[in-house]
Amino acid sequence: MTEISHRYVRVNGIRLHIAEAGSGPLVLLVHGFPECWYSWRHQLVALAEAGYRVVSPDQRGYARSDRPEGVEAYTIMHLVGDMMGLIDVLGEEKAVIVGHDWGCSVAWHAALLRPDRIRGVVGLSLPHLPRTASPMLPLMRKALGEGYYIVYFQKPGLADEELARDARTTFRRLLYASCGDNPEDVPMVVPYEGGLLDVCPEPEKLPSWLTEEDLDVFAAEFAESGFTGGLNWYRCMDRNWELTAPWQGAPISVPALYVVGDRDLTLSMVPKNMISERAVPLLRGKIVLPGCGHWTQLERPDEVNEALLGFLNTLA
């Protein structure tokens, strides 16, 4: 069995924790909210055994990595810059980058901003969404109200305290709420004077892909870090819109793959065609996993690994 090793590297003035395995062409696995390197444990081993050097960082603000002060330290430019710096520290020229959830935004933007460093890009859950004509937060407030979870996350300290109160409960309820095993669609709208976890059901039993030991690991990884760093990514959404103005209308110019579960709640937030071949002209596939929810690589590791290896094998 391939072992996963851990170490720290310095990138762009901060310390990042990375998990790594294998040798060969570099593949970066980039997590979303509220996750860490552990979300990629199945892919780290499978891709390494197939002949790849696989590295999964805790991104800035998360788990064992540094948590810079100030919301302004979490823009998409910082996040993409961290990935470019990581490629440098690892002694490589290029990498394939795979993202999930917020990690998709990092992956797609890495391919958009630095195609010279990215051999291919894979998005799990979130497609590449071209820059909108106006900032998204005012539109969300108008259409979905102050209770919509992304708007709720904007209030400093509020979600931070709620989610950190009992990290194990947070992970149990959040992971279950948005997975394909939950028979109910969860409206991600926080009730008045309530919190996000109030709309996330308590599972009668854990789904087969999530164990008590997994919850222990997630809770331990966030025991010191809390959730503020990850929430600050959401608080940079309008900043990101301003910063990416020079790339308005620019396509993703590297080979790409998109994988999503048909019960992923994010599908309600994206266009019906999910991903535009005009915006991603070198798209090599759209894979929809029946019965899969938001936590793609956790819920369906074998199918995700097969899709990733199939895509990787097409790259020169």
Strands 14-21 and 53-57 turn out to be: antiparallel
* Beta bridge mates, 256: 121, 283
Question: How far is Cα 316 from Cα 116, in angstroms, rounded to an integer?
Answer: 14
301-312 vs 41-49: helix crossing angle, rounded to 10: 40
Half-sphere exposure of 152 (CA within 13 A, CB side): 21
Structure tokens belonging to residue 135? 């900032």
Structure tokens belonging to residue 70? 């100030």
DSSP H/E element including 119: strand 118-124
Would residue 238 show up in a list of annotated catalytic residues for this protein?
A: no
Would residue 101 show up in a list of annotated catalytic residues for this protein?
A: yes
| 163-190 residues labelled b (16+ CB within 10 A) or e (exposed) | beeebeebbbbbbbbbbbbbeeebebbb
Residue of 82, 101, 160, 264 marked catalytic? 101
Question: How far is Cα 175 from Cα 218, in angstroms, rounded to an integer?
Answer: 11
Which residues are designated catalytic?
Answer: 101, 294
